Structure 1
Amino acid sequence: NEYQNIYKQLIEKRKIVLTAHASPDGDTIGSCLALYHYLIQFGHQVKIISPNVAPKFLQWISGYEQITIYDTHPGIAKQEIDEAEFIFAVDYNAFHRTGEGMSILLENASAVKFMIDHHPNPADIFEAKISDTSASSTAELIFRFIEDLGQLEKINKELAESLYVGLLTDTGSFSFSINSDKPYIIAAFLYNTGIDIQAINQRIYSAFTEGRLRLTGYAISEKLVVNNELRFAYISLTKEDLNRFDHQNGDTEGLVNYALGIENIVAAALLTEKDDKIRLSFRSKSSFAVNKIANEYFEGGGHKNAAGGNSFLSMQETIEKLNKIITQYKSEINAVQL
């Protein structure tokens, strides 16, 4: 199987680069660091590259200081990619997910390219891939990789914490749709390694800056739009809105879930203005699939109930486009029983 295929190519000590996707979340950072803590036990020379900085609530994870940030150190990142024998795409399945500059380096790299990811429709550019859309997270796939090789004893405290962060954040604290009992079994195993579950939860979910809390309140009270007829809600945040509250990477994490949490709402979106585009995050309940909207209309993709995309129109034009699209799905949305 693919687990064995990848492992056989790593029997000898190698130069390995692990790469995260742009706007890194808990699963891509946690999974990269879990793989890092696993691979260094075999004497591999392992580097991690993230396109940009992770939110502060993830920077405490052991090994984070080892990560090269492409945005601030592109020269170092290029050297590490050029020297790599193996490159892993971790929690993403196409190099464009790392951003324009870094993706070119990865595409042109001579290294053998592997992928570990749980999103649908992976690009056909990898020599080997671990791809399972039924998995709750990439962290789950990494645990299964180690388990399949019969090496669970390699899961030390640092590795366990990293895996738990990925599992916790990508399942919404085990509140999203989960297709099996495996995530709970993994969580129990990780707990039994001695990690402090309470402390990890506090570091991730109880570490808001004042600016982030005020931004959350402003987004809900002033920028939330609810269309009860379409059972759709959205929040839009311009650069001016973000700057007003000293926005930092990760401050909008989870905002879209407040919109989705409204009674009888089936689909929700968060629109965030970036320098050259509008970033859209979609969430949905039950059987309504938002990834098809992200894929067909906004150059994106993702899971059935959680997806993302981009618009290169203005904020107002993007909102108008989105409302027209949602209107086309009115009958499908209204058929959803909650």
Structure 2
Amino acid sequence: MTTDENLLNRVSGQWTTEALRTMQEILSGSSKVAITAHRSPDGDAVGSVLGLYHLLARKGIKASVVLPDRFPSFLDWIPGTESICFHSEQSKESEEIICSADALFCLDFNAPDRAGSLADLIVSSSARRVMIDHHRDPDSFADLMISDPSCGSTCELICDWAIASGNWSNVSLDAAKALYTGIVTDTGSFRFPSVSAHTHSVIAALLDLGLKHSEVHEATFDDQSLSRVQLHGFALSERLKIRKGAGIGVIALDLADLERFEYVSGDTEGLVNRILGIRGIQMAIFMRESEKGKIKMSLRSKGYVDVQALATAHFDGGGHKNAAGGILRSMTMPEARLKVDEVLGQWFNI
């Protein structure tokens, strides 16, 4: 496909001539390329690392993908997942890949600590580092930093690089599947404010490559186990608490709740959006006990409510204005609920 001039004119302004030149220099001067993303990888993290992995492969560049830990099982279908090395399971091999790399791509995170167990390895790496991300307030830790918070996903930024650098012909069908998955998941199926006309133009270009978007949607969203559906029903009917006057909804699931429904990674994906979809709700919080003393949080909002600021200030997290995540450590679920209630009371004067 010949890249449309209109598409080229709309790529992220971060991909300047100098940035493209630096990217090419790093790639051409590297014999060992490593690609990584943030802890608890989501669709955009997995889609961007595998999208770039497949794209580089078509250019004749062999790369290795290392992630801090496992991603939700509903992303297992993406081509290339079998090649990923997980630090949580293969620590020695993962560390060897990072330490021996002369080019290290850091995708979908903007500070080393977001990479969890890989943070120290990233900081100490002698490789030339490339950060490609769309979250606010990045740390200056990379030799090339592509940071565009106005963009709906890191996968869109990877597509923009392929377009601007003349590499669109190297986007294989496998790469297209990975990149589309990242875009569709991180934009909430194209419903978030970050979606632009350019986002849809990129999707059209991916479809022109032969991508079957309905197949991606079915594999990602419509292949749920009965226990997962039952868990969602239980969470909404038995664990949802709503502050009607404040427009806030909270669901908290402890280990016992999860075990009751044979929880596997990814089973609670989307619950926070179900809360936000309730009429009158402006902010939704989902809390999941991932292990004893550790509570993972997902926060979503509508309009002016800035959940990134809330997550950054109180929950060791970050993200975007209307979608963020956080972690509470060294506390039980009842203690975590009290903490959240206190923070909400202070933050919103309720």
Question: Could you tell me the TM-score, scaled by structure 2's length?
Answer: 0.91
1:129 and 2:145 correspond = yes
Describe how 1:129-208 pairs up with structure 2 within 5 A: 129-178=145-194, 180-208=196-224
Which amino acid in 2 is paired with 1:322?
V
Which amino acid in 1 is paired with 2:36?
T
Which amino acid in 1 is paired with 2:197?
D
Structure 1: distance between partners of 2:170 and 2:102: 23
Does the CA-based 8 Å contact 1:13-1:44 persist in structure 2? no
Does the CA-based 8 Å contact 1:27-1:138 persist in structure 2? yes
Does the CA-based 8 Å contact 2:187-2:195 persist in structure 1? no
Give the deviation of 1:201 after TM superposition. 0.5
Q: Determine the structure 2 residue equivalent to 1:8.
A: 25
Structure 1: distance between partners of 2:231 and 2:20: 43
Segments of structure 2 that go 5 or more residues without pairing to the other structure are 1-15
Q: Tell me the alpha carbon deviations over residues 68-91 of structure 1, each in whole angstroms, 9 at most, x when there is no partner.
A: 011111111011112111111111
Give the deviation of 1:22 after TM superposition. 1.3
Structure 1: distance between partners of 2:67 and 2:211: 25
Structure 2: distance between partners of 1:40 and 1:50: 18
SS state at 1:274 partner: strand
1:214 and 2:199 correspond = no
Give the deviation of 1:150 after TM superposition. 1.9
Q: How many residues align?
A: 331
Structure 1: distance between partners of 2:31 and 2:204: 32
SS state at 1:10 partner: helix
Q: Determine the structure 2 residue equivalent to 1:286.
A: 303
Does the CA-based 8 Å contact 2:58-2:172 persist in structure 1? no
The one of 223, 230, 236 aligned to 2:252: 236
Task: Please tell me the root mean square deviation across aligned C-alpha atoms, in Å.
Answer: 1.5
The one of 257, 272, 287 aligned to 2:288: 272
Q: Determine the structure 2 residue equivalent to 1:59.
A: 76
Q: Determine the structure 2 residue equivalent to 1:43.
A: 60
Q: Determine the structure 1 residue equivalent to 2:118.
A: 102
SS state at 1:9 partner: helix
Which amino acid in 2 is paired with 1:326?
L
Q: Determine the structure 1 residue equivalent to 2:136.
A: 120
Q: Determine the structure 2 residue equivalent to 1:336.
A: none
Q: Determine the structure 2 residue equivalent to 1:295.
A: 312
Which amino acid in 2 is paired with 1:151?
N
Which amino acid in 2 is paired with 1:31?
S
Does the CA-based 8 Å contact 1:95-1:103 persist in structure 2? yes
The one of 217, 220, 225 aligned to 2:241: 225
Structure 2: distance between partners of 1:55 and 1:300: 19
Give the deviation of 1:317 after TM superposition. 2.1
Segments of structure 1 that go 5 or more residues without pairing to the other structure are 334-338
Does the CA-based 8 Å contact 2:30-2:103 persist in structure 1? no
1:322 and 2:334 correspond = no
Give the deviation of 1:327 after TM superposition. 2.6
Which amino acid in 1 is paired with 2:346?
Q
Structure 1: distance between partners of 2:258 and 2:38: 22
1:70 and 2:87 correspond = yes
The one of 264, 267, 270 aligned to 1:251: 267
Structure 1 outlier segments of 4+, above 3 Å:
328-331
Which amino acid in 1 is paired with 2:106?
A
Structure 1: distance between partners of 2:214 and 2:140: 40
Q: Tell me the alpha carbon deviations over residues 99-156 of structure 1, each in whole angstroms, 9 at most, x when there is no partner.
A: 2x32222222221111111011111211111110000000010011111112211112
Q: Tell me the alpha carbon deviations over residues 45-68 of structure 1, each in whole angstroms, 9 at most, x when there is no partner.
A: 300011122222211111111100
